[in-house]
Amino acid sequence: MAHRRSLFVALPALVVVVVALCLRGPFAAVGPLLGELSDQLSVPLTALAVLASLPLVVFGLLSPAAPVLATRIGLHRAVLAGVLLLAVGIAVRLAGVVGLFAGTVLLSAGIAVANVLLPAVARAEYGERAAGVVGLVTASMAVSAALGAGLAQPLASVAGSALRGLALWLVPVVVAAVAVGLLARARRGSTAGAPAPAADRTGILRDPVAIAVTLFFGLQSLSFYAMLTWLPDILESDAGVSAVSAGALTALAAVLGGPASLVVPLVAARFRSQVVPVLVVAAPTLVALAGLLLAPSSAPLLWALLYGIGTGSAFPLSMTLVLLRTRDVGQTGRLSAAAQSAGYLLAATGPIAVGALAEVTGGWRAGLLALVVVQLGQAAAGTAAGRPRLVSAAS
């Protein structure tokens, strides 16, 4: 009997993990296939490169709409709608060039909804014990990104083309839709998981605690996506690493977010103040940037690992701060939306800025120095967000 009860309690966590496993792979798989897509569709590679940043822009623009949708149709059904939109977007990408771009926008919109609302689902299902579930969610997202990038070429080979390889992501997404659909049906009629309506949906951004959490999320997102975009080139040009090895080191750095996500939320939630975890998380990235600036060729593996540990730990910490600084499910959803909206817009512009600095100066030094400044800003914002205060009840 106790075993059945434990299984029943664990099922919502399993559902959110299954959904989270679908939230990075469908767009992380595009980068490794850009060359094949260019050949298959007869489109210049430079035009297709927009596909790499397009999801981040969509995340930033549409994240604020997720709590609105949850208020109108319910939290669980809103997540289901996001997963279904993700499935439609994946299918639409099969329709040539126009379908590839339109499908990317659609699937990114679906991911934006689920990104924002999964922490609120965890809060609704598990209350004060939700930090561990949020850790599982962020770990699953990291695994999803690694699977998307790592399996892109094998899936394209199995399917016979790059477009059909991308379409194979429909399989896990359909499974996720069925799972969250069953959970939504089980929660039908329940008001516990529905965010309360907010008269002023932008009011939360006038609260200093919410601003600090949003800045921390935004700056850590910028650091991560700058790493994902440019670390291979930095290692290749400054550290003398081969292109294949540089890509492998970057993939290794990215996947470290998985184990970090399982540990960081649980540890951070045990502290009354999260200032110490914020500073501990910032340290590895600062050391990595210093190494890349001062002695890039001396220990490229170490610099990549430290960068991955730092950025991979900052993301689950930012999601944990969203949870710990809010009073209820509705406020969690609103702060999650605000933080992710600003964060992903910053993430979309950050890699562009670092690349532009490299082009103007003829090297990576200026971009790395800019990322040091970003890290210091992240530590400052995190220090403010980490203090044991809650977003005001009126927000």
Q: Among 144, 164, 195, which residue terminates a domain? A: 195
Q: Greatest CA separation found in the chain?
A: 67
How far is CA 309 from its chain centroid?
15
Residue that terminates a domain, selected from 152, 176, 195:
195
Lowest mean pLDDT among 54-68, 173-187, 346-360: 346-360
Residue 239 has pLDDT above 80, yes or no: yes
Tell me: do 109 and 230 sit in the same domain. Answer: no
Whether the pLDDT of residue 109 is over 90: the answer is: yes
Give yes or no: residues 227 and 206 share one domain: yes
pTM above 0.85, yes or no: no
Q: Is the same domain home to 216 and 346?
A: yes
* Boundary residue ending a domain (195, 218, 247): 195
Regarding whether 14 and 54 lie in a shared domain, the answer is yes
Count of domains observed in the chain: 2
What pLDDT was estimated at residue 395?
Answer: 66
Residues 328 and 372 in one domain: yes
Note whether 54 and 108 are same-domain residues. Answer: yes
Range picked from 162-176, 227-241, 252-266 for highest mean pLDDT = 162-176
pLDDT of residue 192: 46
| Domain residue limits at 18 | 1-195
Q: Specify whether 178 is located in the same domain as 250.
A: no
- Give mean pLDDT, residues 114-129: 86
Any idea what the CATH number is for the domain that residue 322 is in?
1.20.1250.20
Asked if residues 316 and 278 have their Cβ atoms less than 8 Å apart, the reply is: no
On whether both 370 and 239 belong to a single domain, the answer is yes
pLDDT, average across residues 83-111: 96
- Both 281 and 216 in one domain: the answer is yes
Residues 27 and 127 placed together within one structural domain of the fold: yes
**Are residues 97 and 231 both part of a single domain?**
no
pLDDT for 161-181, tens place per residue?
999 999 999 999 999 999 999
Start-to-end C-alpha separation, the chain: 42
Say whether both 21 and 161 belong to one domain: yes
pLDDT digits (tens, 9 = 90+) for 172-222: 999 999 999 999 998 875 544 444 444 444 567 788 999 999 999 999 999
